[in-house]
Structure 1
Amino acid sequence: MKTNGKKHVVIVDGYSTGRELVRELSGRGVTCLHLRSTPQIPSVVSKCFDVSVYDKDLGYLGTVDAAIDRLCVLCPDAVVAGSEWGVTFAEFVADGLGLPTNRIETISARRNRFDMIEAVRVHGLRTADQAPVHTAEEAHVWAKRHRKWPVVVKPMLSAGSDGVVICNHHADIDHAFAQALYRENLLGSFNDRLMIQSYLSGPQFIVNTVSRGGRHFVSDVWQVAYRVVPGGSSAPGSMTLLDPSRPVSRDLVAYTLAALRALGIENGAAHSELRMTPQGPALIETGASLMGEAMDAAPYQAAGLPTQASRYADALTAGNAVNCSAQGENTYVFKRNLVKVFFEFDQRATVRDTDGLSKLKALPSFHGHYRSLGKGAQVWRGSDSLFFGGVVYLVHDDPKQIEADLRQFREWESAGELYALDPVTTEESLVS
C-alpha cells in the first residue's frame, strides 16, 4: 500500500536500457519497483543488471495471477516492461490490475514474430512473404517455391538477431535449423518450430515511439549501418539519427504509426525495425518496449534530443504532454548530428590492452565511450543483441566531420589500435 503520496511504477525485467527509465522516473520523484517475470535473471544480462537503483526489489512473485494478487496491495500507478523479456508478463499483469496497457487481445502479435507480420499484412501494410516451418524439409520446399534468394530463417518467439540466419542457399537453411530448432532462445522460449521469410532488400531503419491512450509520439528515427557476420547473421556497425522532416523519415513514421495500430500498441514504448524496400517501408519487427540499443542520456543531451526513456517517463508522470514537441508536432526536433558507433569483432579474443582507446579523444566529434571493456575481457563474434566493447557517441554540427571521424575509427579498429586483442584458439575456447 502506498503511503508517501508518490507515484509507484513497477518495471518488469528492467534489463538493458531499462536502467535509463529508472533513472528518468527517479529524477521525477517516482518510486520504482523491480519485478522479475522469471525465477532467475537471464544469464545474458545477469552480470550487468543493477537492482540497487530501484527503491524496492520485488523479486519473482510467481505466475501472472500470483503477481496480480501481490501487487493489488501495493496499488501501483503503472506496470511496464523494462525490456523485451518482460513484455508479455507486464501487459498481462497491468491488464489484470486495470492499468493502462496495450490491447490484450492482440498480445500474440507483439510477441510472436509470425503473428506480428500477419497482423500488419491484414491491415494492408507492406510485409515480407512468410510461412511457419516445423522442419528443414518444409523450409526447403518453401524456398524452392519462392524461387528467390536470399531468404531469412528465424525463431518466432525471440528478439533481435537471436537465431536469425540470412540464407543464400539450401545449406544455410540446414545450418539455421541445426542452430535454432529445439533449443531455448534468447528470451527463454523453446523453439519447437521456426519461420521462413522473403528477404527485404534496402537500407534498415529504427523508429522509436512512446504511446499513451492510443496517441503516439515519435521519439527518434535512426538509419542503421549493418554488416554481415560470418555465418549468415548481421550486426549493426553504427546508427545515425535522422531529421524527422526528411521525406524518408516521414514515410517511415507514417508506416510505423499504422503498424502500431495494427499491433494494438496504445500505451508505452515501442521499438520498430524496418527496411526501406524499393516499393517502400516494410516492417521487420516491433518490440513493445524501449529500444534495447544504447541510450545514454548525456550524449543525447549534447545533441539536444531527449531519450526515448525520458519521453516514456513524461508519459508515465505528465500525461498527454508527451504527445507533442515544443512545436506541437508528434515528432522530435532535430538539432545536432548524433551517431552511435559499435565495435566490430569477427572472432573470439581476449583484450590484451586498452591504451589505444585514448585515441578516441582526438576525434573532433567524440563525445564519450560508454561501457568499455577492461584488460582480460572476452569478446566474440558480434551480434545485435549485445554490444561488446561498448558504444562510442559522435556529436557534431557538421555531418561531414562525423563521417570523417567514423572512417578514422574504423581504420584504427582494423589496425588493432583501439582494443589490442589476442585471438582465442579452439583449444582455449573448449577449455573455457
Structure 2
Amino acid sequence: MQRHVILVDPYSEAAEFANAFRARGVASVAVLSTPAPLKSYLHGWKPESFSATHFHDGDFAKLVETVRGYDPVAVIPGNEHAVRLVDALVEELFPGTGNVPELSAARRDKWPMAQAVANAGIPHLRTFAAATEEEAADWLRETGLEGRALVLKPRCSGGTDGVHKVEAGEDWRLPFRRLLGSVNMFDLTNDSILVQEFASGTEFVVDTYSVDGELGLVAVVRYSKSARGARIGVYDAEDYLLPEDPLVKVLEAYTRQVADAVGIRTGCTHTEIMLTDQGPRLIEIAARLDGGCAQQAARLATGDSQIDRTVRHHLDSAFSPGYEIVQPTRVAWLSAANSGIMRNAEVLDSMRDLASFQKLGCRYPNGSRVPKTEDLFTTLGWVLLSTPDQDVLDEDTKRVREIEAKVEIEPLDP
C-alpha cells in the first residue's frame, strides 16, 4: 500500500518536502488551509508536485476524515499560516506526539508568543498588541517608551510583511493607521498591531529540528539587512556561522528557552534573534521550515537541511543534535530601488559565470511589473553562492552588487 505524508500549505520551497519524501517511496498530499490558494503565494504554488490536493473549507471534522483516509506518516506545515491547523490535525491523528496544543497560538501569533516568552522570565523586548491608537498611546506612556524608536508590525504575517520602524521622536500614529485594518500577505485583516521597542544589534537565524522535545541545531545564520525609509526588513545577505563560533552557544541556549516557552517539541523551527548589547532578544519564532532558498543553501553549507531531517525523523526515527560547515555559502538578496517595468532581466544572467555561482532566483521577466523592494515578499530575487574559498565568495558577492546595479526598472507614469 502506498504510504503518504500530508503537507499543509506547501508553497514555494516547502514543495521540496514532496521531492524528499518521494525519493523514499512516500507520496505527498497537499492540504491548503484556505478554500483557494493564497494570492501572495500563487507564484510558489506547484500542485503538480503532489499526488492529491484538498482545500480546507472550515469543516474541520471533514478534513480530519479526509486526512485520516491516507493513513499518513506525518502532517507537516509549509508556512506560518499552516501552523495552527497542523497542530489540530496532529492532535487528532497522533495525539501527544506534536507540539504542546495549549500553546498553539504562541507559535503563530506574535502577541501570545511575546507573552509566553515574558511569562517564562526570558529576556525579551517590551511588546504590546493595540487595537486602537489610544491603547497604544497608553501603553507607550506607561512603559516610558514615548518618543523612543519603535517597530510596528502585523501579529500574524511573515517575511517582514508590514514591518515598520519609527525613529525616535517620530510620530508612530501614521504607520499604525496604515497597518490597522489592512490585509496582510496571508489574506488576514490586521485588526490589532504589534507595537515593540526597537532593538539595535545584529540579527541571526537559528534553524532547528526537534524530536520528542529534544532540539537539534540545523544551522545558525547571520542576517544582513538594510532599511528603506521606514521599512527595515530589506534582506541583503545571509551567512552561515561555524558551529564552534562562541555566538552559536549563546544563540542556541536562548533558542532552547524560547522553544520551551512556546511549546516546541517536534518538527522544524525558524527563530529570528537580535543580538543586542544586553544579550539576545527574540524577534519571532516560527514552527515551520526556513523558507526562501534556505533549504538549498543549508544543504550546500552543511550537507543537511530541515527537510532532510524531517524525512529521517518520520521514516527512520533519527535525530541529529548539531551541524557542521562543509563550505562557505552565502545567499545574496537582490533589491529593486523602485517599482516599474523590468527592462533588462538578462543582465542578471552574467551572475551564472561567477566561480561560486549555484543558483539564481528571479521571477520577473522583461516587461513584467516589479515592486519596490521593501520586505521579503517584494525582493527582486536572490543568488546562491557557495565555494570552498571564502575570498572567492567575497569577491563574487562584490560582483553580484555590480551586476545588480545595472538592472533597469522603468518607473511607471504617475
Given the two structures, how large is their TM-score scaled by the length of structure 1?
0.90
CA displacement at 1:170 relative to structure 2: 6.1
Partner of 1:89: 85
Partner of 2:72: 76
Partner of 2:115: 118
CA displacement at 1:312 relative to structure 2: 1.7
CA displacement at 1:348 relative to structure 2: 0.5
Name the aligned partner's letter for residue 339 of structure 1: R
Task: Please tell me whether the aligned partners of residues 348 and 403 of structure 2 are also in contact (alpha carbons under 8 angstroms).
Answer: no
Task: Please tell me whether the aligned partners of residues 348 and 404 of structure 2 are also in contact (alpha carbons under 8 angstroms).
Answer: no
Verify: 1:314 aligned to 2:312, yes or no. Answer: yes
190-199 or 336-345: which moved more? 190-199
Task: Please tell me whether the aligned partners of residues 273 and 284 of structure 1 are also in contact (alpha carbons under 8 angstroms).
Answer: yes
Partner of 1:40: 36
CA displacement at 1:334 relative to structure 2: 1.0
Partner of 2:130: 133
Task: Please tell me whether the aligned partners of residues 159 and 377 of structure 2 are also in contact (alpha carbons under 8 angstroms).
Answer: no
Partner of 2:158: 159
**Secondary structure of the corresponding residue to residue 152 of structure 2:** strand
Aligned equivalent of 1:55, options 38, 51, 62: 51
**Secondary structure of the corresponding residue to residue 236 of structure 1:** strand
Task: Please tell me whether the aligned partners of residues 61 and 70 of structure 1 are also in contact (alpha carbons under 8 angstroms).
Answer: no
Partner of 2:392: 401
Verify: 1:272 aligned to 2:271, yes or no. Answer: yes
RMSD of Structure 2 on Structure 1 (CA): 2.0
Task: Please tell me whether the aligned partners of residues 163 and 176 of structure 1 are also in contact (alpha carbons under 8 angstroms).
Answer: no
Name the aligned partner's letter for residue 178 of structure 1: R
Name the aligned partner's letter for residue 69 of structure 2: V
Q: CA–CA distance in 2 between the matches of 1:147 and 1:47?
A: 41
Q: CA–CA distance in 1 between the matches of 2:362 and 2:399?
A: 21
Aligned equivalent of 2:409, options 417, 421, 424: 421
Task: Please tell me whether the aligned partners of residues 106 and 264 of structure 1 are also in contact (alpha carbons under 8 angstroms).
Answer: yes
**Secondary structure of the corresponding residue to residue 74 of structure 1:** coil
CA displacement at 1:274 relative to structure 2: 0.5
After superposition, residues 134-283 of structure 1 pair within 5 angstroms as: 134-144=131-141, 145-147=144-146, 149-169=148-168, 171-283=170-282
Q: In the TM superposition, what whole-angstrom CA distance separates every residue of 1:68-111 from its partner, at most 9, and x where no partner exists?
A: 13223332221111111211111111111235321101111111
Q: CA–CA distance in 2 between the matches of 1:232 and 1:61?
A: 35
Task: Please tell me whether the aligned partners of residues 342 and 392 of structure 1 are also in contact (alpha carbons under 8 angstroms).
Answer: yes
Q: CA–CA distance in 1 between the matches of 2:99 and 2:92?
A: 12
Task: Please tell me whether the aligned partners of residues 342 and 409 of structure 2 are also in contact (alpha carbons under 8 angstroms).
Answer: yes
Q: CA–CA distance in 2 between the matches of 1:86 and 1:159?
A: 12
**Secondary structure of the corresponding residue to residue 196 of structure 2:** strand
Task: Please tell me whether the aligned partners of residues 204 and 220 of structure 2 are also in contact (alpha carbons under 8 angstroms).
Answer: yes
Q: Which runs of 5+ in 2 are unaligned?
A: none
Given the two structures, how large is their TM-score scaled by the length of structure 2?
0.93
Q: Which runs of 5+ in 1 are unaligned?
A: 325-329, 427-432
Q: CA–CA distance in 2 between the matches of 1:372 and 1:52?
A: 19
When the two structures are aligned, how many residues end up with a matched partner?
Answer: 411
Task: Please tell me whether the aligned partners of residues 101 and 266 of structure 1 are also in contact (alpha carbons under 8 angstroms).
Answer: yes
Alpha-carbon distance change, 301 to 288 in structure 1, aligned in 2, over 3 angstroms: closer
Task: Please tell me whether the aligned partners of residues 106 and 263 of structure 1 are also in contact (alpha carbons under 8 angstroms).
Answer: yes
**Secondary structure of the corresponding residue to residue 44 of structure 2:** coil
Q: CA–CA distance in 2 between the matches of 1:265 and 1:194?
A: 25
Q: CA–CA distance in 2 between the matches of 1:108 and 1:199?
A: 24
